[in-house]
Amino acid sequence: MNIILASQSPRRKELLKRIGIENFKVIPAQGEELATRTLTPDQLVEELSQRKCAEVAAAHPKDLIIAADTVVSINNRVLGKPRSEEDAAQMLAALSGKLHLVYTGVTVAKEGRTLTQHEVTSVRFRTLTQADIIRYIATGEPMDKAGAYGIQGYGSVLVEGISGDYYNVMGLPVCRLARMLARFGVDTLALAAEKEQAK
């Protein structure tokens, strides 16, 4: 069975490999990430992951497709990827000293069968100074990440604590994904065991 990750995110690629899935293709969806404005964050990420998955599945109907979309939400405001350094600074200032929620929608599809779920993790930022924000933006890390930070990188020093799935904040809730893949006949622990025994 061919597995396709419908995302060009290096973090999602890394996480798939981390749970034992080595042999997969990367074919990112090309459509714009537009969705209905009235959706709640959980509905939004589910819809966007479904769209990405459907686009790639249409060209590869016999393969197993994995698609995901992540957003940050604070005070009912959804934060995607920043459009500029000023946008990133505004996002980081909004998150400073507060609790926010990270939502990831995941869709898995194969041969016309589709399963969509989402995960939510709460994250608390420490209080940031203007200098903290300027220096963090200078690393370049915020620019391709929802909410303008990466918990697995330099952004780790901004995070006081989390409640929920850490990997969800990276962009792929691997525990939930593994349970979803099992329903399509993919046992990630068996794949991991085979990988280790082959070393």
Burial of 97-136, coded b for 16+ CB within 10 Å and e otherwise, reads: eeebbbbbbbbbbbeeeeebbbbbbebebeebeeeebeeb
Q: Which of 42, 63, 69, 165 is catalytic?
A: 69
Nearest to 120 by CA among 185, 74, 159: 74
State the DSSP H helix or E strand holding residue 77, giving kind and residue range, or none if neither. strand 77-79
HEC assignment per residue over 126-165:
CCCCHHHHHHHHHCCHHHHCHHHCCCCCHHHHHEEEEECC
Active site residue 69: yes
The residues assigned a catalytic role are 69
